[in-house]
Amino acid sequence: MRLPLRYILFGALACATGVAAAYIERRAEISPAQAQTAPAEAPAVPRSRAEIAYSFAPVVKKAQPAVVNVFASRVERMPANPFLDDPIFRRFFGEGGGGMPGRNTAQSLGSGVIVDPSGLVVTNNHVIEGMTDVKVALADKREIPAKILLRDPRTDLAVLKLTEGSNFPTMELGDSDALEVGDLTLAIGNPFGVGQTVTQGIVSALARTHVGISDYGFFIQTDAAINPGNSGGPLIDMNARVVGINSAIFSKSGGSVGIGFAIPVNMVKNVLATARGGGKMVKRPWLGATLQTLSQEIADGLGLDRPTGALLADVEARGPAAEAGLKRGDVIYSVDGQPADDPEAVGYRLATRPIGGVATLGVLRSGKKITTQIKLASAPEIPPRDPVKLKGQSPFAGATVVNISPAVIEEMSVQGAASGVVVVDIEDGSFAEQLNLQRGDVVLAVNDQKIGSTRDLEKATATRSYYWKITLARGGQVFTTVVGG
């Protein structure tokens, strides 16, 4: 079940004192005999300056130079206004009228981390989404322009490249699979634009799914304070290694309540590898099967003790799952020895594996545990996309559509449709935008004519009609509407 509260983009935290740590060390030095006579509730008094001065400063000093602030903007030209074209008006009020209609600048603020000396920066996609101009402020106060190398909306990650300078300070990438609940973590970023800030906490939970932040819902939960502006900043371990990219918080007020979520660094590595190789789109292994969450009722019917794992509800005839011998009714409970408690966990585990290898799946079939290897191949693009931008006077004018294929279904997260054409772009101010078409919508039929390809839709909308009967699939739901011509 998705969380009903809104998510806020976030940032980093402040250092904790060492009194508690000193107390733990003192208690560890007490012998068993002393422990029997000493009152359990007696506070331990620090015995040295070192105990009083216990600090995370060495970790912060090592990590902080690689943390950056990300400033993104986009200039939006407003509809033409003859009054604003008057040269006298522009002389007094400037281009756009000093905030009046003409030009409007959209801005966003977030954080990021340098992961390569050449100037590669990892941040959140939502920090730079829709933006065209990006600047990065380093810890040493330098501001450097950056270009966007890769956007990956499915994971809410983006990779930037600093366009000036070299030999930048970097932070090492850790292993998010090695994290345990209770591990100490620090979050570094720029909350509310106040400046670089450090906060401390622990790993509250692992493998958080059903959070509703991105397509790959598999997050590290931390109580380190994260606030707006921290988005894209690193979550680090006590060795000053990145273990996650802070992405969202759970909050009613907009401020931190101690429930923050970070994208595991093992997912970041896959996106970073694509950017380093010059790719513009991250390709991930295709399972070739539809997975379903196990309910207690289904688990009981399958003879399982508890509802953990991902049920194969359908298997593509020529997909990797079928080739691996998987069948409907099988339950995947692990990937390469790592537990997979639900479909989101299976998707995450496969998404962190490179194309071209194999993965070992732990499967429950008829109450017995078996293992099988599955090829890690990307989804095929059959039929080809054949993109078409629709024109004319139809409600679809301004929309760009492509043919549906396993690759498009994976890329656009299409649900419940195996035929039709998929909307991939909508022009601002177009008829399609007025109709409220959305990216990912699947056009199934127009005026009762089945749409099987982009050329079918182009032909069906080529002539003007008095009315348009449209059947769409969105979010797994199919609906029909009629609009005037």
Active-site amino acid positions: 126, 156, 231
Say which residues have a Cβ less than 8 Å from residue 82's Cβ, sequence separation at least 6: none
The one-letter amino acid code at 409 reads I
Neighbours of 69 (CB within 10 A): 24
Burial classification of residue 252, based on how many CB atoms lie within 10 Å of its CB (0-12 exposed, 13-18 middle, 19 or more buried): exposed
Rounded to whole angstroms, the Cα distance separating 374 from 359 reads: 5
User: Any bridge partners for residue 220, and if so which?
Assistant: 262
Closest by Cα among 457, 449, 455 to 480: 449
Rounded to whole angstroms, the Cα distance separating 144 from 6 reads: 33
Q: Which two tokens stand for residue 295?
A: 């309910």
Rounded to whole angstroms, the Cα distance separating 248 from 459 reads: 44
Closest by Cα among 482, 476, 416, 397 to 445: 482
Largest CA distance in the chain: 93
Between helices 265-276 and 343-351, what is the axis angle to 10°?
A: 40
Strands 219-222 and 157-162: unpaired
Neighbours of 426 (CB within 10 A): 20
Rounded to whole angstroms, the Cα distance separating 57 from 63 reads: 10
The angle at the Cα of 412, spanning 272 to 246, to the nearest 5 degrees, equals: 40
3-state helix, strand, coil in the chain (%, to 5): 20, 35, 45
Rounded to whole angstroms, the Cα distance separating 234 from 113 reads: 6
CB 315, CB 322: distance < 8 Å: yes
The one-letter amino acid code at 383 reads P
Neighbours of 66 (CB within 10 A): 23
Say which residues have a Cβ less than 8 Å from residue 320's Cβ, sequence separation at least 6: 285, 286, 287, 288, 374, 375, 376, 377
CB 313, CB 299: distance < 8 Å: no
CA 311 to chain centre: 24
User: DSSP label at 23?
Assistant: H
